[in-house]
Structure 1
Amino acid sequence: MPRTFQHAHNPRASESALQISSRAVEDQLKICGHKRDADVFELFLSQKELTEVIDLSRFKRLKYLWLHHNKLHGIAFLTRNYCLTELYLNNNAIFEIEGLHYLPSLHILLLHHNELTSIDATVKELKGLLNLKTLSLYQNPLCQYKLYRLYIIYHLPGVELLDRNQVTEKERRSMITIFNHKKAHTIQSIAFGGKVDASWNPKLPLKQKPVQRLPSDFAFADNVDKTVFDDPEDAVFVRSMKRSVMTITSMNWDTVPTREEKYMEEKGTESTQMLTVMLR
């Protein structure tokens, strides 16, 4: 059921919210001593109880915008601020981020403690932000997705710091194994020859180096088995990669009596023993 908000149907309430926003912006301009919109590089509008924000497109050179700890539901007011590099939207009530793809210069984006529910819609909106390096999404409903972190890393390879934690090379290898099994098969097929997958894009953060085998430190958790895959082949591949235990049993020939010992009928001869070796 789509979310609705009472103030959206009340013109007076909406107008009042915009007036509060306009007043907050003007107060900040006075505090900073700005007389021209072209001189505004940053706006600090946090903790203003804002539910809406006026159009900020007049600030063509705006680079830093603080809007955290408010009551915002969306970001439709950000469509022409092409120079914006840092955007702080954490601790709001945002349930959609449509319009972020209009901010190509965005380098830091904080969205934690909001109401984002669709991981696909969120990733779709962020894919075009090629300069995005720092991203926070924790404490959103979409984080309940069991492979949430690897999913974000896979679709946003340029992000280096996710939810206050550095993206590791191990995570990049893991997300390839889970979300791109064709490339994982390619890695396996060339591993024995010690070759390099020359089809990889060198611009990606993945290092081009010989891959001998799947990383030994990669652990498949129980949640992989419970993941619903769109393509059945993906499910078969992930489950086939789980390591099973192999047991090899052989006779301990040191305990088998020789021909002479049998003839001599030595009482001290031990009974035959079996050796069992378990490999993973």
Structure 2
Amino acid sequence: TLLLLTVNVSVFLLSGMWLDRLIICYQAVEDQLKICGHKRDADVFELFLSQKELTEVIDLSRFKKLKYLWLHHNKLHGITFLTRNYCLTELYLNNNAIFEIEGLHYLPSLHILLLHHNELTSIDATVKELKGMLNLKTLSLYQNPLCQYNLYRLYVIYHLPGIELLDRNQVTEKERRSMITIFNHKKAHVIQSIAFRGKVDASWNPKSSFKKKAAQRVPSDFAFANNIDKTLFDDPEDAVFVRSMKRSTMAITSLNWETVPTREEKYLEGKETKPAQMLTITLR
């Protein structure tokens, strides 16, 4: 009986603490509504709830047209309170203690999401939650444990191709090409084949080891200086002439317009005209 009583008291105390936290958040929301002069929930487009020492947030689904929500610099651990705010476009959750973001996939209109300085550890779970957000363009995840992953940035860019600004840095075309090469070998192979007008080898396996070509060995008696013509000339002009004759030849051929008869010469004089000649100029 004593043990049961202790458990009930503990549950009651925890419930009381949780209720107190919700009351604090409710009061913060009401204060913001008074400051902004909103009397109807339908008129609320933005809420400033940053730096309120909040650990819990009340359900905000009553604000159907909420677009901008500031919750940074609090002590939040999760964001399950956002389930029906479909119009939300900007969400600032940086500088909290969030370790999971379950519930963000309910926000299809989200355009900006700041989650830096939190406790997110699983990059797979984070990316999975954000995959369906097609309108997301700006994302910040730095200063989270998941950033220690070696290919963290390329991994996020690959799974969230719509992202244009990641961790305050613009996503470049070079990064997009790199992430395809690393995470999608087949697509990279097809792109390279198309670029060089080659035929795609269907049997190509990116996991197979590459065969190294045998390097051609240089003959032991090979000497670079021995392959150079060392003939000496008394006159430097002779040396220049011999060297110029060894250069490659470039020929330019065009029609010699002086041999083409004019209209008067061809029809009026009645003389036999010779065929036009070609003029060739050879350069070294």
Same fold (TM > 0.5): yes
Asked whether the 8 Å contact 1:7–1:14 carries over to 2, the reply is: no
Q: Who is 1:24 aligned against? A: 28
Change (3 A) 1:153 1:257: closer
Of 244, 249, 253, which aligns to 2:218?
249
Task: Find out whether 1:168 has 2:172 as its counterpart.
Answer: yes
Q: Who is 1:107 aligned against? A: 111
CA RMSD of aligned residues (A): 3.0
Q: Who is 1:81 aligned against? A: 85
Cα shift at 1:192: 2.3
Asked whether the 8 Å contact 1:61–1:84 carries over to 2, the reply is: yes
In structure 1, what is the Cα distance between the partners aligned to 2:82 and 2:37? 23
In structure 2, what is the Cα distance between the partners aligned to 1:42 and 1:257? 80
Asked whether the 8 Å contact 1:84–1:103 carries over to 2, the reply is: yes
In structure 1, what is the Cα distance between the partners aligned to 2:177 and 2:228? 53
Q: Who is 2:134 aligned against? A: 130
In structure 1, what is the Cα distance between the partners aligned to 2:216 and 2:75? 60
In structure 1, what is the Cα distance between the partners aligned to 2:11 and 2:142? 27
Amino acid at match of 1:249: V
Q: Who is 2:120 aligned against? A: 116
Task: Find out whether 1:159 has 2:159 as its counterpart.
Answer: no
Q: Secondary structure at the match of 2:105?
A: helix
In structure 2, what is the Cα distance between the partners aligned to 1:244 and 1:38? 71
In structure 1, what is the Cα distance between the partners aligned to 2:67 and 2:191? 42
Change (3 A) 1:9 1:249: farther
Change (3 A) 1:84 1:246: farther
In structure 1, what is the Cα distance between the partners aligned to 2:31 and 2:47? 10
Any stretches of 5+ residues in structure 1 without a counterpart?
A: 1-5, 198-232, 259-280
In structure 2, what is the Cα distance between the partners aligned to 1:84 and 1:257? 76
Cα shift at 1:23: 0.3
Change (3 A) 1:145 1:189: same
Amino acid at match of 2:30: E
User: For each residue in 1:172-203, what CA deviation from the matched residue of structure 2 results, as whole angstroms up to 9, or x when unmatched?
Assistant: 000000000011111232332289x9xxxxxx
Q: Who is 1:263 aligned against? A: none
Asked whether the 8 Å contact 1:8–1:14 carries over to 2, the reply is: no
Any stretches of 5+ residues in structure 2 without a counterpart?
A: 1-9, 230-284
Task: Find out whether 1:69 has 2:73 as its counterpart.
Answer: yes
Amino acid at match of 2:226: T
In structure 2, what is the Cα distance between the partners aligned to 1:137 and 1:7? 35
Task: Find out whether 1:94 has 2:117 as its counterpart.
Answer: no
User: For each residue in 1:119-157, what CA deviation from the matched residue of structure 2 results, as whole angstroms up to 9, or x when unmatched?
Assistant: 000000000110000000000011011000000000000
Change (3 A) 1:240 1:256: closer
Of 13, 16, 19, which aligns to 2:17?
13
TM-score by length of 1: 0.70
User: For each residue in 1:210-250, what CA deviation from the matched residue of structure 2 results, as whole angstroms up to 9, or x when unmatched?
Assistant: xxxxxxxxxxxxxxxxxxxxxxx76x46x859x99967636
In structure 1, what is the Cα distance between the partners aligned to 2:178 and 2:215? 24
Q: Who is 2:263 aligned against? A: none
User: For each residue in 1:59-118, what CA deviation from the matched residue of structure 2 results, as whole angstroms up to 9, or x when unmatched?
Assistant: 000000000000000001000000000000000000010010000000000000000010
Task: Find out whether 1:51 has 2:55 as its counterpart.
Answer: yes
Asked whether the 8 Å contact 1:88–1:109 carries over to 2, the reply is: yes
Q: Max radius of gyration: which structure?
A: 2
